[in-house]
Structure 1
Amino acid sequence: MICAVYKSRLKADSYLFIEKRNDFERVPDALMKMFGTPELVMLLPLDKRQQLGIADINKVRSELADKGYYLQLPPPPVNLLEAYKKEIGYSQD
């Protein structure tokens, strides 16, 4: 399976995987409005890959088959202060 990967010009680090290049028919209109004009990043063969950057490749394959697209959003920002407090066992109790 080869899919097309597009990046959003409106949402930083957001990527849309679709089954066929320039075929956005199965992508909901509301998602396309939020995503903005897609910019082709690459054509990606999924069959020969075991993993993808931050996305679960099995979920990507499954959603492409079921919905016709997969939306990859950036991970939420890490609150470094809270992570540090947790690491040192800090509590205000």
Structure 2
Amino acid sequence: MICAVYKSRLKPDSYLFVEKRNDFERVPEPLMKMFGTPELVMLLPLNKREQLALADIEKVKVELAEKGYYLQLPPPPVNLLEEYKKEIGYSRD
């Protein structure tokens, strides 16, 4: 299975995987508006990979088959202050 991966010009670090290059027919219109004009990043042979950097490859395959697309959003930002407080055992209680 080869899919096309596009990045968003409006949403940093957001990627849209579709079954075929330039085929956005199954992607909902509101999502396309939010995503903006897609910019092709690569054609990706999923069957030759065991994993992806930030997405579960099996989930990507299932969503491509069922929905025709997979949207990869960036991970939420880490609050370093909160992480440090947890590390040192700080609590307001």
Match of residue 60 from structure 2: 60
* TM-score (structure 1 length as normaliser): 0.99
- Residues of 2 paired with 1:37 and 1:10: CA distance? 8
Match of residue 74 from structure 1: 74
Match of residue 50 from structure 2: 50
Point out where structure 1 has 5 or more consecutive residues left out of the alignment.
none
- Residues of 1 paired with 2:58 and 2:85: CA distance? 35
Q: Provide the alpha-carbon RMSD of the alignment.
A: 0.4
- Percent sequence identity over aligned pairs: 85
What aligned pairs does 1:2-81 form with structure 2 within 5 A after superposition?
A: 2-81=2-81
Deviation of the 1:26 alpha carbon: 0.2
- Residues of 1 paired with 2:4 and 2:48: CA distance? 15
Point out where structure 2 has 5 or more consecutive residues left out of the alignment.
none
**Structure 1 runs of 4+ with >4 Å offset:** none
CA-to-partner distance for each residue in 1:34-71, whole Å, 9 max, x for gaps? 00000000000000101001100010000000000000
The alignment partner of 2:48 has SS state of coil
The alignment partner of 1:87 has SS state of helix
- Residues of 1 paired with 2:41 and 2:20: CA distance? 13
The alignment partner of 1:11 has SS state of coil
Deviation of the 1:87 alpha carbon: 1.0
* TM-score (structure 2 length as normaliser): 0.99
* Equivalent pairs, count: 93
Which is richer in helix?
A: 2
